Amino acid sequence: MSEQQRAPHLSAEQFRAQAHQVVDWIADYWESVGERPVLSQVEPGAVAAAVDGTIPDQPESLDAVLADVDQHLVPGLTHWQHPRFFAYFPANSSPAGVLGDLLSSGIGAQGMLWATSPAVTELEQVVLDQLARALGLSDAFCHLRDDGSPGAGGGVIQDTASTATFTALLAALHRATGGRARTEGVEQGRYTVYASTQAHSSLQKAAMMSGLGERAVRLVDVDPWTQQLDVDRLREAIEADVAAGRVPVMVQACVGTTGTGAVDPVAAIGEVTRRHGVWLHVDAAWAGVAALCPEHAWVNEGVAELADSYVTNPHKWLLTTFDCSTFWVRDRSALVGALSILPEYLRNPATESGAVVDYRDWHPQLGRRFRALKLWTVLRSYGLSGLRAHLRAGIAQAARVAELVDADPRLELAAPPVLGLVSFRLASSDGLGAGRADQLTREVMDRVNASGAAYLSHGQVAGRPFVRWACGGWRTGAEDVEQTWAELDRTLTELLPTR
Amino acid sequence: MSEQQRAPHLSAEQFRAQAHQVVDWIADYWESVGERPVLSQVEPGAVAAAVDGTIPDQPESLDAVLADVDQHLVPGLTHWQHPRFFAYFPANSSPAGVLGDLLSSGIGAQGMLWATSPAVTELEQVVLDQLARALGLSDAFCHLRDDGSPGAGGGVIQDTASTATFTALLAALHRATGGRARTEGVEQGRYTVYASTQAHSSLQKAAMMSGLGERAVRLVDVDPWTQQLDVDRLREAIEADVAAGRVPVMVQACVGTTGTGAVDPVAAIGEVTRRHGVWLHVDAAWAGVAALCPEHAWVNEGVAELADSYVTNPHKWLLTTFDCSTFWVRDRSALVGALSILPEYLRNPATESGAVVDYRDWHPQLGRRFRALKLWTVLRSYGLSGLRAHLRAGIAQAARVAELVDADPRLELAAPPVLGLVSFRLASSDGLGAGRADQLTREVMDRVNASGAAYLSHGQVAGRPFVRWACGGWRTGAEDVEQTWAELDRTLTELLPTR
């Protein structure tokens, strides 16, 4: 190495030129994505066989990379930004979200400690305080109270709601054990957690990861129609565990379940958790952001008064490029108590003064990206009025879907529509047995998905499958709903030719 | 809402124009960042007081956002992409990394399941297979073996090495308990984990989060000069725990400790773990990527033969915009066994065929970003030759730092320099007591950092502080080393006027 080779970092001019090329690629992709099949049609292994992962010896051009993206990757994408992506929940990117994220990539700051980039931490505190207020959580979850005094709680951006739920459980365990869980470990078989049978699987995963094990999870029955948690059953389950000498640690209430979008009665659940001193975590991953609209503020009722922690995902319905999951706690000392560690190499005067927040103590990871910047960019670029218009558009589209389902004798609702989500299945009346109806429910969805015209997903209640049609994509217009309905109608006619 | 307001999504043309504006902002930022103080000079609370987090009612322009970034955020940034950022470890963004990340944001695909975007999963498999080979891990850690047959292991991109270490521990626990940890929870006080006293704090955090508790962690002594784990002490610690009826679950070997960059003797540690059937996790978060250079391939010696899992962070020294932590396991069944859950709404034919990888079972999170795209873009844009040139530049800069320290009687090395990292302190000989020398070591670093000229961080061995000078930034040139040295020299002269 007498002559050191220089690494081929792009010059400022090369970067400008190539970035403009990528920007144009994205703009073109968004404009044309609606013409592609939503669900990728590739077979397992096809992309891996086509793509060469070998690291070349010499630098390759951006043109070569983009050509491979077009030829080999795009056919293997299921297009989440497609106007007729109605599966799972919307996972919106948005032009503003992409701009904010790009800015964050360019700055490349790492906010593990306040000191490692104060603006990363403080913008996050400020933005989450204001978002908490806008969502109706009240200043009980804010870093700064309404009167400007320091709060006991606060918000943090996590990567996903799964991580938020996991950290909520660790905080709850910390509180329930007086800190002994972190030092001594958990006592096997002693602690229990609760949610409805419709709760997201991340609760089970959190129980597995925290050392409690799956056996700690109590899944409580729901109302057979609304799919909301039955508070009487919850109370009984907690009382039975207490009577048996176990320690109930956390109840997770769902505001918008992954299946049918059911909103659990948070206030009534909160009365139970308060009585028993159990941590109440509210999983509003999808639906919580709807509370930005005054007419939907009810979804977060009870949170301000009774919840201990709350999560909603701007990366789902709120136009913020993945990942951005906003998580709040009423008492940050439990969370930080469960997760803080201060090795020598992270010591610094700001931390030791106690005057700052070090977000590394608020989640499992140490390193962290400047995610508040993209959220802030989105919130400002749309404004409340624009965000509400976006949310309302998805809800109006779902109302149209529900209307179409209602008017069609071949179909029935599987649960009440909630906000942007409609759950339906083949009606089993009219000479069609439930078994055959269920089979056809799957068949209809599979055919629509295979057609590439739209992408729907499914769920199950009381052993019966249903189709989920989740509106809320930023590129989705009324015509996309009609076009998808036409494909569904055609498929139903094919499958039920005699009716 | 009779007249539905339309959400103000940017048109394609608006997006192109605004994205070009952000790109120009970034190019300008990179060009001028070297003129700013590296470490932010703001007081706690200053950014929060300056920034308005209120969500405006009406949309605001990108100009307004960028003006606030310039005025209120930039002064609050500690600039990680600054040419004289020598603290912690480099956390490189890079032009190519930003381009790849931007592409991923625009595509906005979510790869929780193979089916939710096959290309997201398969590109990750292909790229991680090839990177494993390039790092010398051998095909034992690949999805596809060298002969094209399916491997038992494989790689996955995690957000951070903390998460990788945590999942390694969960996999190790799964194997050690025959799967009972996930169902029944952990038995208190039964399981133990091991690493050197110099290991990263994420191991302790993993023990806390997994329900083992801090008491499960055994920190083993190191060689007082090299800071490498003492294998005899490790063997004794394991044997003592076994004799006491405890179950050793995992040993973490460090390839490049966070303090001094020490590389533990992985092969010798692996002989011990193999004998006792203990999971060997190798934390090569910073140093592992150096193995791309043939002359530094030694850092990963023993991994191919003896490790059970391995992590290195392309988002540190390998030019890949945060976050991108590459993690491999030899036996993926232990990892997936610890983390998999299949609720109804995620069932799909591809998953049930067993022919695909669903990465949601490889980490705590469910949702996941298309991170392989930025890594692939970086690897191809630089090529092996370019990556090596970048790594060698950092190592050459550190060699120059070590030379300067060596030649200066006021200073001494605190440990052997390793790759891009030099650890030094004030020499306590020459009439300066160790106590006063240690005080001055801190003082010198604090003054250099406060000057804004450069940013250094610190560590501690055997109770004595030292300054860490970590080279490897993509914007750092030889002149930045000289300029920082001049500042250090000036500061030393100020503090030690009589010498």
ipTM of this complex? 0.96
Q: Is A32 on the interface with B (CB under 8 A)?
A: no
C-alpha Rg value of chain A to the nearest Å: 24
C-alpha–C-alpha distance, residues B217 and B237, integer Å? 11
Q: What is the DSSP string of B399-422?
A: HHHHHHHHH-TTEEESS--BTTEE
| Strand residue runs (E) in A123-244 | 154-158, 191-196, 217-220
Interface check A60 vs B, CB under 8 A: yes
| CB-closest option in A10, A74, A88 to B96 | A10
Closest residue in chain A to residue B445, using alpha carbons only: A348
Q: If you average pLDDT over residues A290-307, what whole number do you get?
A: 98
Distance from C-alpha of B176 to C-alpha of B187, rounded to nearest angstrom: 12
B48: which chain A residues are within 8 Å (Cβ-Cβ)? 122-123, 125-126, 144
SS3 A37: coil
d(CA A73, CA A70): 6
**Is residue A399 within 8 angstroms of chain B, CB to CB?**
no
Domain A379-495 - what CATH class? Answer: alpha beta
Neighboring chain B residues of A58 at a CB cutoff of 8 Å: 383, 385-386
Q: What tens digit of pLDDT does each residue of A87-117 get?
A: 999 988 899 999 999 999 999 999 999 999 9
Q: What is the pLDDT of residue B4?
A: 62
Contacts of A187 in chain B (CB under 8 A): 188
Amino acid symbol at A351: T
Strands A309-312 and A279-283: parallel
Say which residues have a Cβ less than 8 Å from residue B240's Cβ, sequence separation at least 6.
none
Name the pLDDT band for A2 (thresholds 50, 70, 90): very low
Contact A281, A252 (CB under 8 A): yes
What are the residues whose beta carbons fall under 8 Å from the beta carbon of A312, sequence distance 6 or more? A135, A161, A255, A284, A285, A286, A287, A288, A289, A325, A326
Report the residue of chain A nearest B134, measured CA to CA: A55
pLDDT band at A339 (very low <50, low <70, confident <90, very high): very high
- Report which of A26, A35, B409 is spatially closest to residue A18, judged by C-alpha positions: A26
Q: How many CB atoms lie within 10 A of CB B433?
A: 9
Residue A1 has pLDDT above 60, yes or no: no
User: Which positions in chain A touch B103 (Cβ < 8 Å)?
Assistant: 22, 25-26, 69
Q: Which positions 143-162 of B are in contact with A (Cβ < 8 Å)?
A: 144, 159-160, 162
CB contact under 8 A, A208 and B457: no
**Which chain A residues contact residue B117 at CB under 8 A?**
40, 76-78, 80
**Distance (Å) of CA A184 to CA A181, A193, B174, B186, B211:** 5, 20, 20, 12, 8
Contacting residues of B for A458, CB less than 8 Å apart: 344-345, 347
In sequence order, the 6+-apart residues with CB closer than 8 A to the CB of A223 are A230
Q: What DSSP letter does each residue of A265-309 carry, written as one string?
A: -HHHHHHHHHHHT-EEEEE-TTTGGGGGSGGGGGGGTTHHHH-SE
* B458 in contact with A, Cβ within 8 Å: yes
Terminal-to-terminal C-alpha distance of chain A:
79
Q: Is residue A26 pLDDT above 80, yes or no? A: yes
- Tens digits of per-residue pLDDT, A47-90? 999 998 899 999 999 999 999 999 999 999 999 999 999 999 99
Element (H, E) at B191: strand B191-196
* pLDDT for A431 beyond 80: no
For residue A23, give the nearest of B23, B94, B116 by CB distance. B23
Q: Quote the tokens at residue A55.
A: 């690291």
CA distance B15 to chain A (A): 6
Residue A290 is encoded by which pair of tokens?
Answer: 């709807």
In angstroms, the CA A474 to CA A84 distance is 10
Residue of B nearest to A355 (CA): B44
* Per-window interface: B 276-305 vs A, CB < 8 A: none
- Sequence-distant (6+) residues with CB within 8 A of B498 are none
B269 neighbors B280 (Cβ within 8 angstroms): yes
Calculate how close chain A gets to B141, using CA atoms only, in Å: 15
- Give me the CATH code for the A109-369 domain, please: 3.40.640.10
How far is Cα A303 from Cα B111, in angstroms, rounded to an integer? Answer: 31
- The Cα B46–Cα B62 span in angstroms is 23
Q: Of A6, A51, A58, which is closest to B383 when you measure between CB atoms?
A: A58
How far away is chain A from the Cα of B87, in angstroms, using its nearest Cα?
9
- Cβ-based contacts under 8 A for chains A and B: 560
A99, A123, A384 ranked by CB distance to B62: nearest: A99
Residue-level pLDDT at B77: 98
Whether A3 has a pLDDT exceeding 50, the answer reads: no
Interface residue A261 vs chain B (CB under 8 A): no
Q: What is the pLDDT of residue B61?
A: 97
Chain B CB contacts of A39 below 8 Å: 115
> With an 8 Å Cβ cutoff, are B187 and A188 in contact?
yes
Neighbours of A402 (CB within 10 A): 18
Q: Which pLDDT score, from 0 to 100, does residue A430 have? A: 63
Domain with CATH 3.90.1150.10 in chain A: 379-495
CA-to-CA distance for A110 and A286, rounded, in angstroms?
Answer: 28
Instruction: Spell out the alpha helix ranges (H) of A108-158.
Output: 118-134
Residue-level pLDDT at B121: 98
Using a CB–CB cutoff of 8 Å, tell me whether A139 touches chain B.
no
Q: Which residue of A has its CA nearest to B192?
A: A185
How far does Cα A387 stand from its chain's mean position?
17
Instruction: Report, at the CATH architecture level, how domain B12-39+78-92+383-499 is classified.
Output: Alpha-Beta Complex (3.90)
Domain with CATH 3.90.1150.170 in chain B: 12-39+78-92+383-499
Burial (CB < 10 A; 0-12, 13-18, 19+), residue A6, is exposed
Of B23, B95, B101, the CB nearest to A20: B23
CB within 8 Å of chain A, chain B residues 407-426: none
Percent share of chain A, pLDDT over 90: 92
Using the predicted structure, report yes or no on whether residue A43 has a pLDDT greater than 90: yes
Chain A contact for B105 (CB, 8 A cutoff): yes
CA distance A473 to B181: 40
Q: Which chain B residues are Cβ-neighbours of A380 within 8 angstroms?
A: 55-56, 59-60, 64-65
A170 close to B (CB below 8 A): yes
Give the amino acid at B158.
Answer: Q
Q: What is the mean pLDDT of each run of 10 residues along chain B (499 residues)?
A: 72 96 97 97 96 94 97 97 97 94 97 96 98 98 95 96 98 97 96 96 96 98 97 98 98 97 98 98 98 98 98 98 97 95 80 87 96 98 97 98 97 97 90 89 97 96 95 97 98 82
Q: What is the 3-state secondary structure (H, E, C) of B298-336?
A: HHHCCHHHHCCEEEECHHHHCCCCCCCEEEEECCHHHHH
Nearest-CA distance B429 → chain A (Å)? 25
pLDDT at A196: 98
**Residue ranges of chain B assigned to CATH 3.40.640.10:** 109-369
Calculate mean pLDDT across residues A251-270: 98
| A213 touching chain B per CB within 8 A | yes
- Residues with Cβ within 8 Å of residue B79, at least 6 apart in sequence: A109, B33, B36, B38, B85
Q: Do A31 and B12 touch (CB under 8 A)?
A: yes
CA angle A269, A275, A279 (to 5 degrees): 65
Q: How far is A45 from chain B (nearest CA, A)?
A: 7
Mean pLDDT estimate for chain A:
95
Token pair belonging to A420 = 């942007």
- Residue A426 to chain B, least CA–CA distance (Å): 18
Q: Do A184 and B189 touch (CB under 8 A)?
A: yes
Check residue B177 and give left, alpha or beta (phi > 0: left; psi -120 to 50: alpha): alpha
**Separation CA A8–CA A262 (nearest Å):** 53
* C-beta atoms of A22 and B99 within 8 A: yes
- Classified as helix, coil or strand, B499 is coil
**A118–B46 C-beta distance less than 8 A:** yes
What letter does residue A414 receive in the DSSP assignment?
Answer: S
Percentage of the residues of chain A whose pLDDT score is greater than 70: 98
Probe site for chain B from A79, A159, A371, A400 (most B CB atoms < 10 A): A159
Q: Give the alpha-carbon dihedral of A193, A197, A199, A205, to 10 degrees.
A: 60
Could you tell me what percentage of chain A is helix, strand and coil, using 3-state DSSP and rounding each to the nearest 5? 50, 15, 35
Q: Decide: A76 and A42 in contact? Cβ < 8 Å.
A: yes
Give the nearest partner residue to B355 out of A44, A188, A347, using CB atoms.
A44
Distances (CA, A) of A317 to A414, A418, B112, B346: 23, 14, 17, 19
Tokens 């804010």, residue?
Answer: A142
Q: Looking at residue A384, what is its pLDDT? A: 97
DSSP state of B73: I
* Residue of A165, A321, A366 to mutate for B, most B C-beta atoms under 10 A: A366
Nearest to A20 among B20, B170, B201 (CB): B20
Q: What is the CA radius of gyration of chain B?
A: 24
C-beta of residue B86 within 8 angstroms of C-beta of residue B484: yes
Q: Which residue has the tokens 């059953």?
A: A233
Q: A122 and B58 in contact by Cβ < 8 A?
A: no
**B381–A79 CB contact, under 8 Å:** no
Structural element, H or E, at residue A351 = helix A349-353
Q: What is the DSSP letter of B76?
A: G
